[in-house]
Every structure is written in structure tokens, then in C-alpha cells.
Amino acid sequence: MTIQFAGFSKLDRLQRINYIVENRSLSTDERESFDDYCAPDSAQQVLFNDMIENYIGNFPVPMGIVPHILINGESLMVPFVTEESSVVASAAKAAKYWITRGGFKAVVTSMTKKGQVHFTWNGDSDIISNIFPEIRQRIFQSTNKLTRKMRQRGGGITEIQLLNKTAELPDYYQIDVSFETADAMGANFINSCLESIASVLPNIPELNFGNHQVGIIMSILSNYTPDCIVRCYVECPVKNLTDWNKELKGYAFAAKFKLAVDIANLDISRAVTHNKGIMNGVDAVLMATGNDSRATAASVHAYASREGRYKGLSTVRVTDEMFRYELELPLAIGSVGGISKIHPVVQQTMAIMNYPDAGKLMMIAAASGLANNFAAIASLITSGIQAGHMKMHLSNILNQLQVNRLDRERAINRFNGSHVSYAEVEDYICQLKGEQ
């Protein structure tokens, strides 16, 4: 087998596929499957071709709808893109549960993003600190052209600070820049501004004289966004906590729910899983809207550690009268820019939600996360998680076993309400086949 990867990016899509087929001895069926989710002559396909390097095909992930989630009194349909069977059903169940209990309330408290120019300067720290106010002005001016359009949209650079990090690393400083990016996530805008600022620093005479020099290390936005915050909560009288489960309701439900949330606050093993449940909903909305889910996940998990210990991200307050469940997340996401205008499905998903602006999209993502999290905890403390998962799990197994419609119905009846494992379902299908 020849492994000769040089020049792969210069090949066109068909040549790349041929290359893979030859070098990995794929069958004709496997070769053709590269085309299964492509429309080779469509305009959309051309967009996908150009979206990433070395493109060979599309990888489908299911998209579902949470049909009715009430956020700040507005009824919304929310598209979820996720490969996990139970995520849409759980969010939809929690969303429905809360409709009759006041729905979700959400607020965006700030949308500031930051980035840093990391550099070294081998002079006296007092000198750079003293002249920085004047340098700041020059830096602002140097970005005027780049920020013009963003300023017209209500954004731009709002703050430029010098951070002295020499106690942690000799000669190390940061120019820490705060940005408002309106409805865009703004990564390209922020990085362009930072690189422009970095190009100015080595030419400032007050910093570059004799053997004193600015040494630029790198310029990049920070995906840690503790100043880009959305808060979301659900609240109702404790006595209205009925109907999730027949046995556990009212104060008993609230008290056990609180214990589960307390455990996520004190134990990292539980906290990570608890937060993963939140991200089930958040991530599904980010995927559906073409947002950068990796950046958001990195920020969210760092935020979960902001007090020096990784904790669950949601908090619960239970009094004799009221139950309140709240979530605070740093979500630096956008409703314009990125792939939102070119991705054909993102245009549809935004239309389904009536084209939310960035702030509203933050609220929708947070409410979806809280819905998934509430459903997970409510199920965990009552019926357990498997009961709800079994239906979708069975469906996936039956699809894997390529079961016909009649046997599928028989299997659904046979396993209704009981535990499902791949082996048991396979045995049952074999038994049916034997009888036929």
C-alpha cells in the first residue's frame, strides 16, 4: 500500500475519493456511500466543497424539533441537531412541563468578548505602565478603519488594558482588549483587530529604544467569556411540582431534586455528567445554528471551575413555598456571520425560530440546556434514566439489525416498558425469524 499524502489538497473531490478507495481497498458500495448525502450539482454542494479543506462528503446528523418552549412569555419552536436519541424527547418533555408553570425566564446580562496580544518587553514595568494611557489612544486610533463597520452596528472596542504578567513569566505582558460584536460571534473581527494592534506595538518609539524591544508572541481572542453571560430560570410553587412522576411530587420532589443538584456542586464525578446534560440542549441548538460548539463547551466548562473547583452549573432554591431552578452560562454565540448566511440548513433553523438576534439565541440555548438538565434530574430521582432512553435505544438497535416493519412492531410490543439490551433484542429477532 502506498502512503503518499503530499498534494492531497490539490486533488478535486472525486480524485480524493478515488485515492481513498485505492489506498484503503473500499468496496463499490462503500465508494458510493460518499455520494449518499451529497447533491453534486447543487449550489449547496459547491458551498460545502469550499467550507473545509480536503472535503470528500457530508456527514448527516439528525435534526429534530422541540415544538413548544415558552421563553419570557414567547412560544418558540427550537431545532435541535444531535446524534443522541433521548435529547429532543427530554427537552420537549421538560419544555411542556414548564408551559403550565410559567415557562422559562431568561436574561442576557452582558455580551462582552475579550482577546489578548501576548508580548514581551524587557524594560522597567513602571515605564510601560506610566506611558500606557497615551499608547492606548494610539492603539485605538490604529484600529479605527477595522472597527468602522462594527461601530455602525453598535459594537467595537470598548476597553484596552495593559496586564502586567511579569510575576508569572519574566517580561510577559498582555494587551487585553474588550469587544462588543453586536449579533456576530465576532471571532474574525476580534482576531483581525488584535493582529492589527500587535503590528503597531513594535513601532512605538517609547517602547522600542536602545536594547528595549517589544516581542510579539501571539494575538488571539479568548474563548473564555465570563463577561458574555445569559441567565435562565424556571420557578413555580412547590405544590405545583406534580405529574413528572406519580409517586414523587411537591415538597418531596423538590427536596430530592435539591439533593441531586447539591451533589453536582460538591462532587466532580457527578458535576461533569450534570453539566454534560446541560450541554445536550445547548450544543444541539448551537449545532442547528452553525455556532462554534467547541468554543462554547471550552468556555462553559472553564466557567464551571471559576471558584477554583469544578461544579455543577445550575443552582436550585427551595423554600416552603417556591421552587426555583437557575442556570448561568457564558455563551459567546452569534446569529449572523460565520456560516449562518451560507449554510442552507442554518437559514431554515433560524427561520423556524423567527430569526433571533444573538442575545435571544443565547436565551434559547440556555433554556434548552436547562430543559434537558431539568428532565435529566427529574428522571434520575424518580424512574431512573433508562426508562426514557429505552424506546429510542430499541429503535436504534432494530435499525442496526435491519428489522422489517412487522418484526419491528412485534419487538416494540415485546419490549414495551422493559429493559432493552442489544443481545436480548437480537435473540428475540432471531427467534422470530426461526418461527417464520
In b/e form, how buried is each residue of 390-414, taking b as 16+ CB within 10 angstroms? Answer: bbbbbeebbeebebeeebbeebeeb
Calpha distance 416→274 (Å, rounded): 28
Cβ atoms of residues 378 and 94 within 8 Å: yes
Point out which residues pair with 113 in neighbouring strands. 179
- Which of 26, 35, 57, 84 is the binder for ligand MEV (CB under 6 A)? 84
DSSP β-ladder status, 156-164 and 228-237 = unpaired
- Answer yes or no whether residue 276 interacts with ligand MEV by CB under 6 A: yes
Calpha distance 356→352 (Å, rounded): 10
Interface with ligand MEV by CB under 6 A: which range of 19-27, 101-109, 232-240, 274-282?
Answer: 274-282
Q: Please give the angle made by the CA atoms of 138, 144 and 145, to the nearest 5 degrees.
A: 135
- Answer yes or no whether residue 385 interacts with ligand MEV by CB under 6 A: yes
Mark 351-380 with x for binding to ligand MEV (rule: CB under 6 A) and - for no binding. Answer: -------------------------x---x
Closer by beta carbon to ligand MEV, 277 or else 330: 277
- Which of 112, 192, 245, 273 is the binder for ligand MEV (CB under 6 A)? 273
In b/e form, how buried is each residue of 417-429, taking b as 16+ CB within 10 angstroms? Answer: eeebeeebbeebb
- Spell out the residues 6+ positions from residue 143 whose beta carbon is closer than 8 angstroms to its own: 157, 193, 196, 197
- Answer yes or no whether residue 315 interacts with ligand MEV by CB under 6 A: no
Interface with ligand MEV by CB under 6 A: which range of 136-144, 268-276, 301-309, 340-348?
Answer: 268-276
Closer by beta carbon to ligand MEV, 342 or else 380: 380
DSSP state of 174: E
The stretches of 84-186 forming alpha helices (DSSP H) are 87-99, 125-142, 144-152
Interface with ligand MEV by CB under 6 A: which range of 59-67, 159-167, 271-279, 347-355?
Answer: 271-279
CB of 375 to ligand MEV, least distance (A): 8
CB of 245 to ligand MEV, least distance (A): 15
DSSP β-ladder status, 228-237 and 74-81 = unpaired
One-letter amino acid identity for 154?
A: G
Mark 290-309 with x for binding to ligand MEV (rule: CB under 6 A) and - for no binding. Answer: --------------------
Closer by beta carbon to ligand MEV, 85 or else 225: 85
Residue that the C-alpha cell 446528523 belongs to? 61
Positive or negative CA dihedral for 124, 130, 134, 139? positive
Interface with ligand MEV by CB under 6 A: which range of 69-77, 202-210, 234-242, 275-283?
Answer: 275-283
Interface with ligand MEV by CB under 6 A: which range of 251-259, 269-277, 329-337, 395-403?
Answer: 269-277
Residues between 238 and 257 with contacts to ligand MEV, criterion CB under 6 A: none
- Which of 79, 103, 155, 277 is the binder for ligand MEV (CB under 6 A)? 277
Q: List residues near ligand MEV by CB under 6 A.
A: 84, 273-274, 276-277, 280, 376, 380, 385
